[in-house]
Amino acid sequence: MKIKLLLCSVVFIALLSSCNNGNKVINEDRNKYESKCKLIEFKKKEFKIDEQTTYLTEYIQYVDKDSIDYLVFVNKYNNSVYYYNYSNCRFVKKMTFEKEGNNGVYTMQAFMDINKDSFFVYSYDTKILNLFDNNHKLVKKYNFYKIPEKGNWTMINPCPYIQTATPIKKIGDKIVCMGFVSGETSQETNTNRPVCVVYDLKSNKIQSTLNYPIQYSKYNWAGGFTYRMPYYDVVNRDLIVSFAASHNLIRYNIDTGKSEEFYAGSSNIKEISSYPQRKDSRIDEDAAWRWYMTNASYENIMYDKYRKVYYRIARLPEKDYNSTEKGNKKPIVIIILDSNLKYLGETALPTDANWATCNSFVSREGLNIQVLTDNEDVISFKTFKIEKL
Amino acid sequence: MKAINVYFTALLLMTVVVSCQRDTYESELESKLNLFLKNEKVDYEYVIIIPGSGCTGCITNAENYFLSNVGNNKIKFVFTNNFSKKQLFIKLKKTNLQRSNIFIDNDNYFYLRDYDKSIYPYRAKVINKEIVEVTML
């Protein structure tokens, strides 16, 4: 009888632990703030692209260092960087990098020009940042993946993955980028899985820093790009970081290593549910995508230095999600925050356009968001400006 | 009591029948491919169906398989449910995709959107223009 009871208890406990229903990150400050402004669309910009370029590029940057404002993007298929004059949308120049040989960089993922004499090219395949001089000569290579130190094998150091909304930035003598290693492990704590890589060019030291918010080590977030990839922007020597499963933003100072949290949630999001499985279990790709599409999340954070505001992108659950539909049709909301990260309002984007929010950036004119159309020979953006309510 | 027994037996039988049934995705794909092969002049040994989106890693593997085997005229490659035709041409090279053993399914005839399995690349074995086996690549 006792054995039967014991067996039943074991089965019951096993069933309970296997049916983890997930946990929720509640938006407790929802609707506490008054809306003072909204975004309105006022312009469309189209950049004609060549035969070798697709409008689905993953790395676009707006560069306003010189007298001309440039739109720069990477074409990973021909290992090239394209420069366009942002104001008149005209093509300016193209720079191509070799994949192999003395100046080879493998497949390039991102590009950053520092000045007229030097620029960086990053390859995700090698995790190497390559420094070039103005003669297109490879001068130096920097390894951007930090192998955990001996005796510290529980550290999960990030693999830098560079995209438009998670760019590579130079802050003084430091190069900063973000990334992660996919998966969900119960070994994760709130100190052993950093997302930020800081490379000190002076000392040649690499540091992995800035950990996920506490809900990441507590619950399962399906281990992939949807919730594990952080988004950020740089303001002075601070990184402003947006995590998909957090209603807050983190302001992290790269000199002091100190971080502060600021509420930056959407009034349209009540809660974010974690993936309903224990960590360490195998994650089904279809089920994880369905969970992401029917769950709320946050994405890009962008600082608008011209108007001294921030924009944060939020994605709402898609109510009528169908597993065979193409792309990501989760409704989009853009939250506006002032320079002190205080809520100013939010605007829902029209649902009749095919937005590629992953390619959004701030220009002198306003907030630009890529929109995909039937014309595959142009990269199109809609530009938004702020209007007071 | 008797009624309950009959009910449970029926339920058990139904479960057995349903679980033994052939997966409908494979059978529907097979019938579509058989129709397609009737109009083909070449006796292919395999047809490979590669969707444009879905299981990213599986699709990358299938595209690598395509690049290594595009010259094999015994294999017919079908590209379906492509988000961007231009990207497909850039990624896999226009000259490769213009070969006679390539079919770009612009009408998504082979994309069976009602099935979750449509996100995976598939391989169909062909003997005498008839599909004999359909499996995930």
| Residues of B with Cβ-Cβ distance to A56 under 8 angstroms | 83-84, 87
Domain boundaries, position A343: 2-55+164-388
Partners of A60 in the β-ladder: A73
Averaged pLDDT for residues A265-281: 97
User: Is residue A113 included in any domain, yes or no?
Assistant: no
Q: Is the CB of B83 less than 8 angstroms away from the CB of A323?
A: no
| A52 touching B (Cβ < 8 Å) | yes
Question: What single-letter amino acid sits at B66?
Answer: F
User: Is residue A134 included in any domain, yes or no?
Assistant: no
Q: Rg of chain A over CA atoms, in angstroms?
A: 22
Mapped onto helix, strand or coil, the DSSP state of residue A15 is: helix
Q: State how many domains chain A has.
A: 1
State the Cα–Cα distance between residues A69 and A87, nearest whole angstrom.
7
Query: Of A365 and A151, which is predicted with more confidence?
Result: A365
State the Cα–Cα distance between residues A345 and A111, nearest whole angstrom.
33
State the Cα–Cα distance between residues A312 and A345, nearest whole angstrom.
11
CA distance B17 to chain A (A): 26
Q: Measure CB to CB from residue A326 to each of B83, B86, B116 and give the nearest one.
A: B83
pLDDT digits (tens, 9 = 90+) for A244-264: 999 999 999 999 999 999 999
Query: Among A66-75, A124-133, B53-62, which stretch is predicted with the lowest mean pLDDT?
Result: B53-62
| A281 touching B (Cβ < 8 Å) | no
pLDDT above 70 covers what percent of chain B? 83
CA distance A337 to chain B (A): 34
CA distance B42 to chain A (A): 32
Q: Measure CB to CB from residue B83 to each of A285, A286, A327 and give the nearest one.
A: A327
Instruction: Give every residue of chain B whose pLDDT is below 50, as ranges.
Output: 16-22
Q: How many residues in chain B? A: 137
Question: What single-letter amino acid sits at B122?
Answer: Y
| Residues of B with Cβ-Cβ distance to A55 under 8 angstroms | 84, 86
Residue A230 pLDDT level (bands cut at 50, 70, 90): very high
Q: Which residue has the tokens 């925050």?
A: A337
CA distance B99 to chain A (A): 19
Q: Is the CB of A77 less than 8 angstroms away from the CB of B91?
A: yes
| B114 touching A (Cβ < 8 Å) | yes
CA distance B27 to chain A (A): 19
Prediction pTM value: 0.86
User: Is residue A155 included in any domain, yes or no?
Assistant: no
pLDDT of residue A317: 97
pLDDT of residue A382: 98
Residue A94 pLDDT level (bands cut at 50, 70, 90): very high
Q: Is the CB of B55 less than 8 angstroms away from the CB of A285?
A: yes
User: Is residue A268 included in any domain, yes or no?
Assistant: yes
| Residues of A with Cβ-Cβ distance to B114 under 8 angstroms | 324
Q: Is the CB of B84 less than 8 angstroms away from the CB of A54?
A: yes
Domains of chain B, CATH where assigned: 25-136 (3.40.30)
Task: Say if residue A345's pLDDT is above 60.
Answer: yes
| Residues of B with Cβ-Cβ distance to A376 under 8 angstroms | 84-87
CA distance A35 to chain B (A): 37
Q: Give strand ranges (E) for chain B.
A: 46-51, 75-80, 102-105, 122-127, 130-136
Burial class (CB in 10 A: 0-12, 13-18, 19+), A186: exposed
Specify whether the CB–CB gap between B52 and B61 falls below 8 A.
no
Q: Is the CB of B83 less than 8 angstroms away from the CB of A286?
A: no
User: Is residue A96 included in any domain, yes or no?
Assistant: no
CA distance B97 to chain A (A): 15
DSSP state of A370: E
Interface of A with B in 113-132 (CB under 8 A): none
Task: Say if residue A171's pLDDT is above 50.
Answer: yes
User: Is residue A143 included in any domain, yes or no?
Assistant: no
pLDDT digits (tens, 9 = 90+) for A56-66: 999 999 999 87
User: Is residue A154 included in any domain, yes or no?
Assistant: no
| Residues of A with Cβ-Cβ distance to B84 under 8 angstroms | 54-56, 376
Cα three-residue angle A191-A194-A200, rounded to 5 degrees: 120
| B107 touching A (Cβ < 8 Å) | no
pLDDT of residue B12: 59
State the Cα–Cα distance between residues A20 and A28, nearest whole angstrom.
23
The residue of A161, A290, A325, A326 whose CB has the most chain B CBs within 10 angstroms, and thus the best one to mutate to test that interface, is A326
pLDDT of residue A14: 47
State the Cα–Cα distance between residues B117 and B53, nearest whole angstrom.
12
Query: Of A299 and A67, which is predicted with more confidence?
Result: A299
Residue B12's φ and ψ, nearest 5 degrees, are: -65, -45
| A77 touching B (Cβ < 8 Å) | yes
- This model of the complex carries an ipTM of 0.71
Q: Is the CB of B116 less than 8 angstroms away from the CB of A323?
A: yes
Specify whether the CB–CB gap between A99 and A105 falls below 8 A.
yes
Residue A388's φ and ψ, nearest 5 degrees, are: -75, 145
User: Is residue A86 included in any domain, yes or no?
Assistant: no
Q: Is the CB of A324 less than 8 angstroms away from the CB of B87?
A: no
